[in-house]
Amino acid sequence: MENVLPELPVFMLHKAIVQTLRKNEAKKEKDAATVIGLGRLIAELPDLRVRTLQILNEFPKSWQKIVLKMVKTHSPELRELLGC
């Protein structure tokens, strides 16, 4: 069986949503750290920046709001990238 890794932008956006739903504070902090770290990497790579915006724009509006709220709270790099 072949290992399949998710696209970094998909994984990061997923983690941003999941982080807001967690009850366990330690897991919330870990998810936020993952989003921040991936956001820094994505912000430096033009292809991934474009792909992240494409994916986010395909999300339902309710998911977009969750991601943008999480990013505003935790990641200045992503705030700039996502324009919030």
> Residue 57 falls within a domain, yes or no?
yes
Whole-number pLDDT of residue 27: 96
> Residue 1 falls within a domain, yes or no?
no
Strands (E), 9-76: none
Highest mean pLDDT (candidates 9-18, 36-45, 73-82): 9-18
**Mean pLDDT (whole number) for 59-71:** 93
> Residue 3 falls within a domain, yes or no?
no
Whether the CA torsion 41, 44, 47, 50 is positive or negative: it is positive
Q: Decide which of 71 and 30 is more confident.
A: 30
Is the pLDDT at 84 greater than 70, yes or no? no
> Residue 59 falls within a domain, yes or no?
yes
Is the pLDDT at 79 greater than 90, yes or no? no
How many domains would you assign to the chain?
Answer: 1
Average predicted confidence (pLDDT) for the chain: 90
